Structure 1
Amino acid sequence: MHELVLRNIKVELGKKIINENINLNVESGEMISLLGASGCGKSTLLKTIAGLIEPTAGEILIDGKNVKSFPPEKRGTVIVFQDLRLFPNMNVIENVEFGLKMKGINKDDRKEKSKIMLEKVGLEGYEKRKVYELSGGQKQRVALARAIASEPEILLLDEPFSSLDENLRYKMRDLVMKLQREMRITTIMVTHDKEEALLMSNRIAMMINGKIVQYDKAKEVYNNPCSREVADYFGDMNYIEGVCKNGVFTSKIGTYNTSLKDGKYTLMIKPKDIKILDIDKKSESKILNVKYLGDKYSLVVSYKDIELIVETYREYDFVIGQNVRIEVDTKKAIFYMI
């Protein structure tokens, strides 16, 4: 098991700053996700850790040793790319053996180890298959087996499941989590998929415009996003502007006691924290839009001269124009200063 620390990493490509002031600590055996929209610098940072891109400034420490000047093959990191980069001229077991061969492991030992890894990823009996004979999910498993067979100190995954269909994606996520936990491999995964990051990660590093803006346990990033930009990444939110004065926040949806300093604030409420209590013709709140999402509804409801997004698992036959009674759980609301 191995620890990774990044200190004040800055990356410039073509005089353009891609990553700046990156500080990150990944504990031994931990799995973290670099989460963010396309173009925010996630993959560049991963390649910098792997040694494929040289940082302009900062330190990359693996087990306390600065590996910034080390070539990729000397860092103890292995990266699995989105396009997998399997060797088409080699069969399955030759692909898995490749990293071990580069390390100088003798033929019998590397073949035995590769067979064990193929068993772990569910590809026993596929040793002699050609790459072009494999499905997308099978290729993914070969790439994973090749990466883990070389016993990396740090495993790096760059959007590993994005090319798979939904069913295969779920299976590969489960496989990666199983192997990562069994073998206690320190792992960093790049993803733009919030569900994937929440499901698989011990911690999430939320990236916006080349910087890590929040780094915390997955549950904490979801429940307490540090900004509107982070909150919006996890779905549509409700924002109500108001003013705090003498410990009281005043807005269109009511007044609430707070410990905030005086000033203007935006109150953020998640759609799931607004409850539909009942269908009630006497209520002034009215459904303006209905989206049926299978296991839940997403509604837009008028409430005290504003529109609120509401998510509910109630099994009413919601229709536009219905009057409903709702309850806003302000205890779970988050304030952002304007």
Structure 2
Amino acid sequence: MGLAIDASCDLPQAFLQKHNIAVMPITIRVDDEIFLDNRSQVELHRFLDRNLGSRSHSAETEPCSIEEVQKLFLDKLVLEQDCVFCLTITATRSAINDHVIKASFAVLKNYRDVRERNNVTGPFLMRVIDTRSLFAGSGPAIVEATRLIDAGEAPAAIRERLTYIANNSYGYMLPRDLYYLRARAKKKGDRSVGLMSAVLGSALDIKPLLRGYRGETGPVGKVRGFEHGAETLFDYAAKRVHAGLLVPAVCVSYGGDLAELAKLPGYDGLRAACEECGVELMEAPMSITGMVNVGEGAVTLGFAAEEHVAEF
């Protein structure tokens, strides 16, 4: 059994390589420049080194097309595995989930001929899971998938468990630049970040804490100053770690040089809580897609836990 994810699911490259996780890429166009977001560190650094800054909010993003998903599976994955789980960021914010579902019809219709030509026998299963979250918030379901596969669980049991984890995954984001976030939202026709809130928030250095949960995204709190916001978010996550998680992992991503993450206030406390409770703290650079959509310097954090009220 294997896994495929879309590029905007934020997890460390070493983790993806260890578990042989296929990445469905996203094409980014910023003016006349094209970037292929496939979680490649080379492409990520090329994007960061270009200092595109304020221009990125006007970027066009193209998720892996139906035809490209079909090609990935029929040229490669159906020959390497007998069952592949595809995990994507929430369908309410990206077309990738819909593309993968539509591609699956052709894959399941045509895989037999491909496998027979290559002397591969037996049926092939393809299952699509909507993580119902964004960026690092998609991480817990993917981590759980690797645990279940390593434990030799049956596909039906894995699908049921991943659906449960997706429904109980919490993804949080702290943006650094509200003007950028508002410009990007306007570009996409999203009215969730109004001009006045962006102007007032920037003038007073007030940042919203945003949450992705069960396909819905929106603010759950406000903090004054980015560093104070980071401390508030990390302190909250540390408390949830102590309260108990459904998957023993906290996923964190940063929109820039990952070395900056550990310098933020409260991060040492989160790391200590994870070590004390046997929870893996998984750090990853934010995808190019993530930075285009929410701005460089943003923090996202994800974990899976029983339903609870967030208090900020």
Q: Which structure features the higher share of strand residues?
A: 1
Same fold (TM over 0.5): no
TM-score by length of 2: 0.28
TM-score by length of 1: 0.26
Structure scoring higher RCO (CA < 8 A, sep ≥ 6) equals: 2
Q: Which structure features the higher share of helix residues?
A: 2
Which is higher, the Rg of structure 1 or of structure 2?
1
